[in-house]
């Protein structure tokens, strides 16, 4: 079998890329090692930049997003027992939309299948071959049989633990990484959100975040040890700790049954270049950001927006100049998002080994941030999403 583009991974990056390519009349196939149910039910990011929303709507997959997504025009920062609102609309004229990544994947998968797109779920033993040639291939097993797809290009959209990045020789890649000395204990609860907007809390006991997935489901996080045992966190302890870290006068946290718990480690990671021969990395296969800045899915969408344009230019004009610049263009945005995500993480979390000077400096930065229009505007511009650089 031959396809113009073989895409490894049927998460947001791979699915968006496949849609964008189809709009240009370019054939692709998606190869995914997990089941459709697993891919669609993974709970991941839930904050979409306005640019990401506009892209999904323009692609024709934004109907349910527009109907069910929760549009927010600000966030609240909580410290020293007080809350301070950052007004995105007043500062930038833009906002964000809360809509779960798994819902985005459901919408994209449904549309891909309705349009006749090819998705191979539960592919086993996936491997890449001849990526430095003009005829790279993807090998895999399905239902016990060996399969092979030759391609003009391969897009590695298979996440941090996928097989695509390791297919690039180690001596070619430069890896930049920071592992944070804490994690996030995240829960989903059948409880109406206790706030209309996200609340980011800096507290002496550690960071906390109040978010949501729908008008009936709350998503909440607590800073914890990176290898925290969930057994140490019964429901009652979680609710008490959330109430402590998020507390302000005359406000009460809405409780409800917790139906999912998990601990997420925190890291910043970038591998560059994001291309090798005819293999191009996108999304988590190339970079990871701490979730504090809400950039993961949005960066994946930005990557494949560039990649789709570059592949389309190749087929229309035989021009490889944009393909050759893919890493350069994508990494400019990625490093800006890394800077912002690191900064948000650094001002909101407690780090082991810090002393009273570090804590007071952190509070002073939050005080300046919430008292300065220029500082607030910088946060707002980054949070709602920076403009796309011209190709």
Q: For strand 2-8 and strand 145-156, is the pairing parallel, antiparallel, or unpaired?
A: parallel
Tell whether omega for the bond before 275 is within 30 degrees of 0, i.e. cis. Answer: no
In the annotation, is 72 catalytic? Answer: yes
- Say which of 73, 221, 326, 383 is annotated catalytic: 383
Is residue 368 among the annotated active site residues? no
One of 3, 19, 287, 295 is an active-site residue; which one?
295
Quote the CA–CA distance of 243 and 325 in Å, as a whole number. Answer: 48
List the Cα angle 218/224/226 in 5-degree steps. Answer: 115
Identify whether 99 is a catalytic site residue.
no
- Cα–Cα distance list, 179 to 120, 151, 255, 266, 377 (Å): 34, 36, 32, 6, 28
Catalytic residue among 12, 33, 291, 349: 291
Q: Is the dihedral of CA 38, 284, 114, 51 positive or negative?
A: positive
Residues contacting 281, CB < 8 A, separation 6+: 155, 156, 157, 164, 165, 168, 271, 274, 275
Is 290 in the active site? no
Residue 145 carries which DSSP code? E
Q: Given 19, 72, 287, 349, which residue is catalytic?
A: 72
> Which DSSP helix (H) or strand (E) runs through 186?
strand 174-189
Burial of 324 (0-12, 13-18, 19+ CB in 10 A): exposed
Q: Which of 99, 140, 200, 221 is catalytic?
A: 200
Residues known to be catalytic = 72, 200, 291, 295, 383
């Amino acid at each position: 079998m031959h396809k113009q583009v073989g895409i490894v991974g049927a998460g947001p990056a791979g699915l968006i890329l496949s849609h964008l390519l189809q709009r240009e009349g370019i054939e692709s196939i998606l190869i995914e090692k997990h089941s459709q149910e697993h891919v669609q039910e993974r709970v991941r990011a839930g904050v979409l930049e306005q640019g990401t929303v506009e892209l999904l709507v323009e692609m024709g997959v934004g109907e349910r997003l527009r109907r069910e997504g929760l549009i927010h025009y600000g966030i609240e920062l909580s410290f020293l027992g007080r809350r301070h609102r950052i007004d995105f609309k007043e500062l930038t004229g833009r906002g964000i939309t809360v809509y779960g990544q798994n819902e985005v994947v459901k919408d994209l998968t449904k549309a891909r299948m309705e349009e006749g797109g090819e998705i191979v779920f539960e592919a086993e033993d996936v491997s890449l071959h001849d990526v430095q040639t003009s005829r790279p291939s993807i090998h895999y097993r399905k239902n016990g049989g060996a399969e092979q797809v030759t391609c003009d290009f391969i897009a590695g959209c298979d996440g941090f633990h996928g097989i695509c990045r390791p297919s690039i020789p180690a001596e070619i890649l430069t890896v930049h990484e920071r592992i944070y000395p804490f994690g996030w204990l995240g829960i989903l609860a059948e409880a109406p959100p206790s706030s209309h907007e996200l609340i980011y809390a800096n507290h002496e006991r550690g960071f906390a975040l109040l978010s949501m997935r729908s008008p009936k489901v709350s998503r909440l996080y607590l800073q914890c040890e990176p290898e925290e045992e969930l057994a140490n966190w019964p429901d009652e302890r979680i609710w008490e700790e959330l109430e402590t870290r998020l507390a302000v006068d005359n406000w009460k946290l809405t409780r409800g049954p917790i139906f999912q718990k998990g601990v997420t480690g925190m890291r910043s990671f970038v591998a560059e270049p994001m291309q090798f021969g005819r293999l191009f990395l996108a999304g988590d296969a190339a970079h990871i950001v701490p979730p504090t800045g809400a950039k993961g899915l949005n960066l994946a969408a930005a990557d494949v927006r560039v990649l789709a344009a570059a592949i389309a230019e190749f087929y229309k004009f035989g021009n490889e100049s944009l393909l050759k610049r893919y890493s350069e263009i994508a990494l400019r945005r990625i490093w800006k998002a890394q800077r912002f995500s690191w900064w948000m993480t650094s001002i909101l979390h407690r780090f082991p080994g810090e002393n009273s000077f570090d804590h007071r400096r952190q509070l002073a930065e939050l005080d300046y941030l919430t008292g300065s229009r220029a500082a607030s505007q910088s946060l707002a511009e980054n949070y709602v999403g920076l403009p796309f650089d011209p190709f």
